[in-house]
Structure 1
């Protein structure tokens, strides 16, 4: 695929996904469209073979972000507090730091890297989306994006894993050649 065709594919696929999710958000009245879907969509269509782009890592990475964000809010007593980005407080900073640390640890420990999940955890920990219906909407939005990614990439013949990227192939060391001995 030429660079221009690849760029057009990434642009149109991303555009279509966001329009679809936006339409679903309008029809449902739920916040299905949120900021960290942007980098998720980019990964899925620009680097479909990257481990972070796999549907498994997309779904579980954002799930880790949501759970860690809620944990950060609960640990700092902000679970029911209204968001306030204009007046930072130590509890809010603590919620964000706890949440991001937990998200990064979970993604590393479970081998589910998905960098946009770091944005999701901050969206939750900063209180922007934190009610049960909002959390459900975030997870539904992620699931819709993952499903659309499989559908669109397969439809256009773009290699993309159904669930998990194949394990990276590691080069095995070449057998050691016996040293030649010169008899002299």
Structure 2
């Protein structure tokens, strides 16, 4: 099967431009809000793992991965697990600096890799035990465990940013969806 055949829509499938544009508008609203907070405060209220979380919120209901308990709880578990692994294994290191040296079998890179592995193990177990189940939070644990956002203040910013994302979705985006009819009908 060629690329064009894979990209074409069959008779059984339909493209719903309205749904796709609705999801795009919803994601835009989330990131204008968080980007404005980051810009206005100078704090990292915008970080990579919020992308998948906003996507899940914007594209419709997915009960195992979406909703306040899962999104906030998953990121909180991940941030704490990442911080614990980082402080114990790689405290003071930052992945960007460690790889910049380009040294093979570097002790610093090894410690960061181990920190990431331990953080993923702790996050997986923590989310399963707490039934938070938010896959996007696995990126958060790596952000923390690799030294990119690894202070207590940054952990607080992560949890607050996620809570604000979920709250903004519930209070503003859902009302916007109702008012203008831009709620996706086909959760994906």
Residue ranges of structure 1 left out of the alignment (5+ in a row):
160-184
1:81 matched to 2:93? The reply is yes
CA 1:93–1:43: 2 relative to 1, 3 Å: same
Please list, as runs of the form range in 1=range in 2, the aligned pairs for 1:1-184 lying within 5 A after superposition. Answer: 3-76=16-89, 78-83=90-95, 84=97, 86=99, 87=102, 89-151=109-171, 152-157=173-178, 158=183
| Aligned partners of 1:103 and 1:121 also within 8 Å | yes
Question: In structure 2, what is the Cα distance between the partners aligned to 1:37 and 1:59?
Answer: 11
Q: Report the number of matched residues.
A: 157
Mean CA deviation greater in 40-49 or 9-18: 40-49
1:16 Cα deviation (Å)? 1.3
Aligned-residue offset at 1:85 = 5.3
CA radius of gyration, larger in: 1
| Offset of residue 154 of structure 1 | 4.5
Instruction: Give the secondary-structure state (helix, strand or coil) at the position aligned to 1:45.
Output: helix
Residue 94 of structure 1 aligns to a residue whose secondary structure is helix
Report if the CA contact (8 A) 1:65-1:118 is conserved: yes
Q: Distance in 2 between matches of 1:26 and 1:85?
A: 28
**Corresponding residue number in structure 1 for 2:8:** none
Q: Secondary structure at the match of 2:44?
A: coil
Contact 1:85 1:126 in 2 (8 A): no
TM superposition score normalised by structure 1: 0.79
Q: Which one is further off, 121-130 or 144-153? A: 144-153
Could you tell me how far 1:65 is from its partner in structure 2?
0.6
- What do residues 1-51 of structure 1 show as CA deviations (whole Å, max 9, x unaligned)? x82221111101101111110111111110000000000011111132432
